[in-house]
Amino acid sequence: LVTMLLVVTRFYVLAFNIEEEWAIYLGAIVMGFSAAILWTAEGKYLILNSTPETTSRNLGIFWFFYSSSEFYGNLVMYFQLEGKKLLDRETRRLLVYAMTFISLFALFLFLFLRPIKKENLNQNFQLESGPIDAFKKTWSIFTSRDIRVLSITFCYTGLAQAFAFGVYSPSIGFTLKFGNNAKQLVALSGIFLGAGEMICGGLQILLSSRFRQHKYGRLWIILLGFFLQIVAFICV
């Protein structure tokens, strides 16, 4: 299922090469549906291959490499868009084909993920008897007090992501005051965004043991991230 969804998500990238409005919207819908399942599968795979002592570190390592793709990808776009007021067809197709190839290569690497050990599976999760029981268990967790509190953070994170990638970056590209470098500045903002995420991911790796020892370690991480984002919003 995960492999199939990874193939389907490539349609979202190729949709930009079709140059049709319906293809962009359809690709966005498919991408949203697939991403929800893929992110859930990614989180479960990390948890199953981690211990309570290594979970924070492993999540930090994953986030560091995930954010590095944003840094390097926008770095390439920065040089490709140099001096271009509009994104011409040749440049767009070059970027689309490059991202498609990289995505397919990443899909190939998924085949080499190590299988989950049975003892880890039994230790972390109790097997459900069927999909109905799994849904009931998920619903009971979703309606628990801890998840209701965390849902506030989840909603805020979604709004912040929507602003960063759906509002802020396009606003830079369509600001005429920036002149011919407007499109290039979009890539530059992505470079700094990726660099910031890499730094925070690296700090989480280095300081994971200290955060785990402190009773309110995770709370301080959330508050620090919230404060930094508020500062960024004020600067915008």
Domain ranges of the chain: 56-83+144-235
- Assess contact for 204 and 217: CB atoms under 8 A: no
Q: 6 or 21, which is more confident?
A: 21
Alpha-carbon distances of 97 from 16, 73, 116, 207, rounded to whole Å: 10, 13, 33, 39
User: Please, which pLDDT band fits residue 55 given cuts at 50, 70 and 90?
Assistant: confident
How far apart are alpha carbons 6 and 10 in whole angstroms?
Answer: 7
Counting every residue, how long is the chain? 236
- Residue 198 has a pLDDT of 86
CA distances, 45 to each of 96, 114, 120, 200 (Å) = 29, 10, 11, 22
Would you say 22 and 11 are in contact if contact means Cβ atoms under 8 Å apart?
Answer: no
Q: Please give the pLDDT value at position 122.
A: 55
pTM for this entry: 0.73
- Chain CA centroid to CA 18, Å: 25
CB 204 within 8 A of CB 59: yes
- Whole-angstrom CA distances from 198 to 66, 159, 193, 195, 209 are 8, 21, 9, 5, 18
d(CA 82, CA 212): 45
User: What is the Cα–Cα distance from 50 to 72, expressed in whole angstroms?
Assistant: 28
Residue 2 has pLDDT above 70, yes or no: no
pLDDT grade for 11, boundaries at 50, 70 and 90: low
pLDDT digits (tens, 9 = 90+) for 110-156: 778 877 766 655 555 555 556 677 778 878 888 888 888 888 888 88
**What single string gives the DSSP state of each residue in 162-227?**
HIIIIIIHHHHHT-GGGGGGHHHHHHHHHHHHHHHHHHHHHHHHHHHHHHHHSTTHHHHHHHHHHH
